[in-house]
Structure 1
Amino acid sequence: MSETGSSSHALKDPRPVVRKFQARPQHEGFGAVVRRSIGRFELKYFDPFLVLDEFSVSAPAGFPDHPHRGFETVTYMLQGAITHEDFAGNKGTIGAGDLQWMTAGRGIVHSEMPAAQGVHKGLQLWINLSSKHKMIEPRYQEMSCKDVLEAEEDGVKVRVIAGEALGIRSPIYTMTPTMFLDFILKPGAHLQQPIPFQWNAFIYILEGEGIFGSSRSSSASTTATAHHLLLLGSGDGVEARNKSSKMLRFILVGGEPLGEPLVQYGPFVMNTQEEIDQTIDDFEKGVNGFEKAKQWRSQAAIDLGF
């Protein structure tokens, strides 16, 4: 297609990139390495998003038994496979292109470990829950690669994890209104993707090099490459262009801000310090959603001698 071709609807006010930084590797879990872009000192919180990790693990490294309360985790596999287990008896494996949307709610203890030898890569996003949803019962939504809806138009391909793009909508239900789109732009492709005006939104680049921001002004555009996080300012959507000779792949994530107080203690995210203190007490005593926490061990943890 020509460089002036464009997918989706024309935007009146494309969002500018207001902040750009590179996610740097750090150690998490048991011998795992993640590139964390949200949830570190440069960007503690981007309402409603708590954490974004691009992880890379090889057995025996991984994320053995650990608790959560008060938010959702979205795990999207890029390479390899991860096996998850939890104290409610749920167990399964998600492979490349598969998705798991877990609502921790009032409490879950689970493990996430490599399913085989080799390198396993993916993304994990933590999404905050509103005060009215923090203590709901845990649940999972899982979708295999073949069931993730896709569309392609004018050199732009999208996998719709959550939300809507190029006329297709994901069946995933999000407690906090969220969009999660995986875009691939061929050389020369040009994307204009609407985003609800009041939502916060960001881009994380997986491969290649792209130009983001209004095409009407070079001063309003930002060039970025792999492992960069781009925070988007206000506007009616995002405009992206691939002027390189290689494929550009990035995720676009947006969500409705909760606008509520936030207190976080590691894997526990509540609205007040008192609720955090109560959560720690619940976990230590094994009550209020954590009844099985003390007795349960995942098979992965047993195998590792934990």
Structure 2
Amino acid sequence: MAARIARSITKSVLSREQSEGDGARVFRSIGSYALRNLDPFLMLDEFDVRAPAGFPDHPHRGFETVTYMLEGEFLHEDFKGHKGRIGPGDLQWMSAGRGIVHSEIPANDKRNHGLQLWVNLASKDKMAEPNYQELPKEEVAHVSPEPGVDIKVIAGASYGTTSPVVTRTPTMYIDVRLAKGKKIEQEIPENYTGFIYTLAGSAKFGSQEHVSDAHHTLVLSNNLGTYIPVESLSDDAHFVIIAGKPINEPIVQHGPFVMNTQQEIYQAFSDYQHGRNGFEGAAEWTSSIRDKWSS
């Protein structure tokens, strides 16, 4: 049997606050100057939004957005008639594919806190039909291997429990809460690029026991390691472990469009402006929730 190899932390990036959407503030790590992208991941935002701020009508093409609510509720609506509401612990895995225009707005005037991850799509999938996977918290896979260890399996597998979410780009997304002194060893495929995002508390991460507190993105080594060890140093250390198979294709991004060439970006803007190739009806559409908080 081959020896198990633990991954270490090679880089730590503190999330920086910036403006996004309509009056919203997000804390961005992946997708910032310090960490432009981490193939297959394009962006990670920790959002903390109160109405009337939000993310009104806007388009996407060529990638997937994964919205995981921690606190509060968001309303969602798109130009194809899809509507929804996600609350604490709920998950929306949206594949924009060839084109989506949608709106994401707070459902109330309380705190709305969560994570949004952008996952790139391979060129063969960028022009696929849009698709949603929406799981209320009751349907998100959960495992507690021992008292003081609470794991939600958003995608992939952990401690023998597998998520029902299907990922076009092979991806794992594990939400972990640990009581003080508790340890885990999360398995990660050796060919996956991975990172940890810390939400609360402090812990020791990786084979070299890197200590980190909240709001940091910790990049995992690409040393063919098959797991990441973690030990909590505080009560309720909370973090997510995210990893995926690199696509290894050129990335050309302009705002909400992510393609492989500059010409494909020009095409995306043209399609959006002229309402074709997946954006039919986009110019005439306005969401019913866009002006929810207008005076």
Aligned with residue 84 of structure 1, among 42, 51, 76: 76
Matched, 1:199 2:189: no
1:238 maps to which of 222, 228, 239? 228
- Segment of structure 1 superposing worse, 123-132 or 22-31: 22-31
What is the alpha-carbon distance in structure 1 between the residues aligned to residue 160 and residue 281 of structure 2? 44
Instruction: Name the structure 2 match of 1:6.
Output: none
Three-state SS of the structure 1 residue aligned to 2:286 is coil
Distance in 2 between residues matched to 1:298 and 1:26, nearest whole Å: 25
Counterpart residue type for residue 209 of structure 2: S
Q: TM-score, normalised by structure 1?
A: 0.93
Partner Cα distance (2:291, 2:22) in 1: 14
2:287 is equivalent to residue 298 of structure 1: yes
- What do residues 167-189 of structure 1 show as CA deviations (whole Å, max 9, x unaligned)? 11000000000000000111111
2:275 is equivalent to residue 286 of structure 1: yes
Corresponding position of 1:4: none
Residue in 2 that maps onto 1:5: none
Deviation at 1:302, TM superposition (A): 4.0
Q: Secondary structure at the match of 1:301?
A: coil
Identity among equivalent pairs (%): 51
Structure 2 equivalent of residue 169 of structure 1:
162
Aligned equivalents of 1:303 and 1:100: distance in 2?
A: 21
Counterparts of 1:35 and 1:146, CA distance in 2: 28
Task: Choose the corresponding residue for 1:26, options 12, 18, 32.
Answer: 18
Q: In structure 2, what is the equivalent of residue 124 of structure 1?
A: 116
Instruction: Write the deviation string for residues 226-252 of structure 1: whole angstroms up to 9, x where unpaired.
Output: 1011000021111100133x1111000
CA contact (8 A) 2:201 2:233 kept: no
Match of 2:211 in 1: 223
Give the AA of the match of 2:227: G
Instruction: State the match for 1:69 in structure 2.
Output: 61
Contact kept, 8 Å, 2:126 with 2:259, in 1: the verdict is yes
After TM superposition, the structure 1 = structure 2 runs for residues 106-117 of structure 1, keeping only pairs within 5 Å, are 106-117=98-109
What secondary structure sits across from 1:152 in the alignment? strand
Distance 2:25 2:181 in 1: 34
CA RMSD of aligned residues (A): 1.4
Amino acid at match of 1:290: F
Deviation at 1:221, TM superposition (A): 2.0
1:189 to 167, 176, 182: 182
Runs of 4+ in structure 1 deviating by more than 6 angstroms, as ranges, are: none
Q: Distance in 2 between matches of 1:290 and 1:74?
A: 21
Q: Distance in 2 between matches of 1:297 and 1:82?
A: 18
Alignment of 1:40 onto 2:32: yes
In 2, distance between residues paired with 1:65 and 1:105? 17
- SS for the counterpart of 2:229 is strand
Letter in 2 for 1:239: P
C-alpha separation in 2, matches of 1:114 and 1:176: 29
Measured in 2, the distance between the counterparts of 1:264 and 1:243 equals: 39
Paired amino acid for 2:157? E
Q: How many angstroms apart in 2 are the aligned matches of 1:291 and 1:221? A: 52
TM-score, L = length of structure 2: 0.96
Q: Which amino acid counterpart does residue 98 of structure 2 have in structure 1?
A: R
Per-residue Cα deviation, 1:191-213 (whole angstroms, up to 9, x for no partner): 11110001000000111000011
- Selected match of 1:156 from 146, 149, 158: 149
Alpha-carbon distance between aligned partners in 1 of 2:52 and 2:211, rounded to the nearest angstrom: 37
1:116 shift after superposition: 1.1
Partner residue in 2 for 1:13: 5
Output the CA distance in 1 between the equivalents of 2:277 and 2:226. 42
Match in the other structure for 1:208: 201
Structure 2 match to 1:267 = 256
SS state at 2:151 partner: strand
TM-fit CA distance, 1:303: 4.2
Task: Show structure 1 runs of 5+ residues with no match.
Answer: 1-10, 215-219
Distance across 1 between alignment mates of 2:189 and 2:245: 8
- Determine if contact 2:120/2:169 at 8 Å carries over to the other structure: yes
